[in-house]
Amino acid sequence: MLNLVSNALREEDDLVRMAAALCQCLIQKVSEEARRIIFKALERGTDADSWAAAQCLALEGNHSYLVVKRILEQMFAATNKTTEEQALYMLRELSKHTNLIHALLGEVLNSANWEERVTSCNALSVLHGTINQGVKNTLSHLMWNDWSPAVRGAAAKALGKLDQGKEVHDQIRKHLESDSWKTKVEALSLIGFLQIMTVQLLPGFLQCFDNDFLAVRRQACQTAGLLRIKDEMVMNCLYNLVQNDPVWKIKAHAIKG
């Protein structure tokens, strides 16, 4: 059987040679000729062949730029969860041996495509190794300033998983107690997205129900609903809005909360 596979590496048909090379890869007996075919497919093959080649090389532990770049391309172009998770698994394993993946994903955080920014945040949160301060700063910037709620939430979750949970918490508390109504709304949105409430955050959260700005009161109600808080003080704030708020939309949000 092994001889047949080896002989197939010298066939004229490209598909046959590639299939034989992949077969050797699967049985972990890769010859130099098979490796040459796989590298050629990675560099100049069809999408399917280059993806298969990248997987073979990654499983061998190859974490060169070409391999990592191809896996990243597949992850960002994935149209189904299975392919995305498969690519992410390989990136996570390769990240044990190189920081190249962290650097390339850090560049994607600046992508004009919000979905790519979300995917990059999610990938960074599961990698091995250390994330440099520059990437952490970018994540922090996205957490507060990105126009997309999905990106802001993904960046916050990524920071939390990168041992920056206390910093995220403290930033949320600072924003929650800010004089700016917009900053308060951003903090409330993140609290709801992350599903967190602590003793330190509660006082600032409660004050939002009495804020002069409609947007703050509305977001406080929505966040309370997302958190499903049964705390008596929170319930009293919601009840007070239902009874006394002059804006009927806020009354409706308080009832939902």
What is the pLDDT, as a whole number, of residue 248? 79
Listed in sequence order, the DSSP H helices in the chain are 2-8, 14-26, 32-44, 47-59, 65-77, 81-94, 100-108, 114-124, 133-145, 149-159, 165-176, 181-194, 202-208, 214-227, 232-244, 248-256
What is the pLDDT, as a whole number, of residue 15? 72
Using an 8 Å Cβ cutoff, are 74 and 88 in contact?
Answer: no
What is the pLDDT, as a whole number, of residue 191? 93
Q: 78 or 230: which carries more pLDDT confidence?
A: 78
Q: With bands split at pLDDT 50, 70 and 90, how would you rate the model's confidence at 38?
A: confident
Over 60: is that where the pLDDT of 10 sits?
no
Measured CA to CA, the distance from residue 186 to residue 193 in angstroms comes to: 11
What global pTM score does this model have?
0.81
Average pLDDT, the chain: 87
Q: With bands split at pLDDT 50, 70 and 90, how would you rate the model's confidence at 232?
A: confident
Over 80: is that where the pLDDT of 152 sits?
yes
Measured CA to CA, the distance from residue 121 to residue 126 in angstroms comes to: 9
Measured CA to CA, the distance from residue 142 to residue 156 in angstroms comes to: 8
What is the pLDDT, as a whole number, of residue 238? 85
Measured CA to CA, the distance from residue 53 to residue 38 in angstroms comes to: 5
Residue percentage of the chain with pLDDT more than 90: 58
Q: C-alpha 25: how far from its chain's center?
A: 31
